[in-house]
């Protein structure tokens, strides 16, 4: 059962921001706002960049290219191609979100002393990571803007919303996003089990999931019971906005039964075995 929309105790809320910021600085190191990088994450990216795509890909590259400009995929695509399209379209929505916000408002005034700055640089890393995932499975591509008008409108609205309103909206998006990334990770293991790069691909998804579950807790810590209840009620809007541009992701989630009750999903279970996951400071939520 998810605790994503369950209020934290007041003492936990009071302690969370300092706890989370310490965790982020220990895990990622110094945040360079000019280059939008973390000192400790760049070494990992050197390894990723050096890796080569291997062998014949099960992805239909021509069909992939044709369908990037569509909201609804053409019929008859194989599972690997549908998966690759879900990754690519999810990536362009993620990139548009963070780039629009930074263009409108920039980083927080406190710089790397504000957890939100780390969150936003993590989102920038995710766009790089997903591009590398696609390259490693044989379909390098550039990221355009989302094709779906609802997706574009929702992202623009969120990027310019006041922070209290943004937090309410963003939590639902994060919960849906964690479920989507977890499924993409699991599907990658199934579809590319024989690929020598599968271990690296899995690490890329694991890092995204650890980041995103941390974002869920950060947003949860910022809200009391009423705003959390409102955020949960807005999950259908988050699903509609995200999947307007990414029907492939909706199809995958529906096939695996992970869409109807996504707000009840235990997102923390997706990272339970990751050693670098965020651990909560309260004794009832350690582990």
Per-residue pLDDT tens over the stretch 38-76 = 988 998 888 899 999 987 889 999 999 999 988 889 999
- What mean pLDDT do residues 194-211 have? 96
Task: Tell me the pLDDT band of 200, cut-offs 50, 70 and 90.
Answer: very high
Q: In this predicted structure, what is the pLDDT of residue 281?
A: 73
How far apart (Å, rounded) are the C-alpha atoms in residues 157 and 237? 13
Distance CA(77)–CA(67), nearest Å, equals 10
Q: What is the pLDDT of residue 60?
A: 95
Q: What does the pLDDT average to over 189-199?
A: 93
- What pLDDT is recorded for position 282? 58
Burial of 20 (0-12, 13-18, 19+ CB in 10 A): buried
Helices 198-221, 10-28: crossing angle, 10 deg rounding: 150
Q: What integer pLDDT is reported at residue 104 of this predicted model? A: 84
For the chain, give the longest Cα–Cα distance: 55
Res 280: pLDDT? 81
The per-residue pLDDT for range 208-257, each reduced to its tens digit, is 999 999 999 999 999 999 999 999 999 988 888 888 889 999 888 888 87
Q: What is the pLDDT at residue 252?
A: 86
**For all residues of the chain together, what is the average pLDDT?**
90
Eight-class DSSP state of 270: G
Check residue 1 and give its pLDDT. 55
Confidence of residue 285 (pLDDT cuts 50, 70, 90): very low
Range scoring the smallest mean pLDDT among 31-40, 174-183, 203-212, 246-255: 246-255
pLDDT at residue 123, as a whole number? 95
pLDDT digits (tens, 9 = 90+) for 89-139: 999 888 888 888 888 888 888 888 999 999 999 999 999 999 999 999 999
**pLDDT score recorded for residue 147:** 87
Residue 12's pLDDT band (cuts 50, 70, 90): very high
Region class of 133: left (phi > 0), else alpha (psi between -120 and 50), else beta = alpha
- Res 161: pLDDT: 83
Q: Which pair of tokens denotes residue 260?
A: 């109807």
- pLDDT given at position 286: 44
């Amino acid at each position: 059962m998810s605790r994503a929309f369950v209020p934290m105790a007041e003492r936990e809320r009071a302690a969370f921001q300092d706890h989370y910021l310490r965790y982020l600085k220990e895990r990622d190191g110094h945040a360079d706002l000019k280059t939008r990088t973390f000192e400790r994450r760049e070494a990992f990216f050197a390894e990723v960049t050096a890796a080569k795509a291997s062998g014949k890909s099960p992805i239909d590259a021509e069909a992939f290219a044709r369908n990037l400009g569509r909201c609804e995929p053409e019929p008859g695509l194989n599972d690997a191609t549908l998966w690759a399209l879900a990754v690519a379209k999810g990536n362009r929505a993620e990139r548009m979100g963070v780039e629009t916000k930074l263009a409108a408002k920039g980083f927080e005034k406190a710089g790397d002393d504000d957890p939100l700055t780390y969150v936003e640089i993590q989102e920038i890393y995710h766009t790089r990571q997903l591009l590398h995932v696609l390259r490693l499975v044989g379909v390098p591509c550039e990221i355009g803007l989302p094709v779906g008008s609802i997706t574009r409108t929702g992202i623009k609205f969120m990027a310019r919303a006041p922070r209290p309103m943004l937090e309410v909206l963003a939590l639902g998006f994060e919960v849906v996003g964690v479920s989507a990334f977890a499924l993409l990770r699991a599907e990658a293991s199934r579809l590319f089990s024989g690929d020598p790069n599968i271990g690296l691909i899995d690490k890329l998804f694991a890092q995204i999931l650890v980041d995103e579950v941390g974002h869920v807790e950060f947003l949860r810590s910022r809200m009391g019971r009423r705003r959390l209840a409102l955020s949960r009620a807005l999950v259908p809007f988050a699903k509609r906005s995200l999947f307007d541009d990414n029907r492939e992701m909706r199809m995958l989630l529906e096939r695996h039964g992970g869409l109807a009750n996504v707000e009840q999903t235990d997102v923390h279970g997706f990272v339970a075995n990751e050693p670098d996951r965020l651990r909560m400071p309260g004794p009832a939520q350690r582990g």
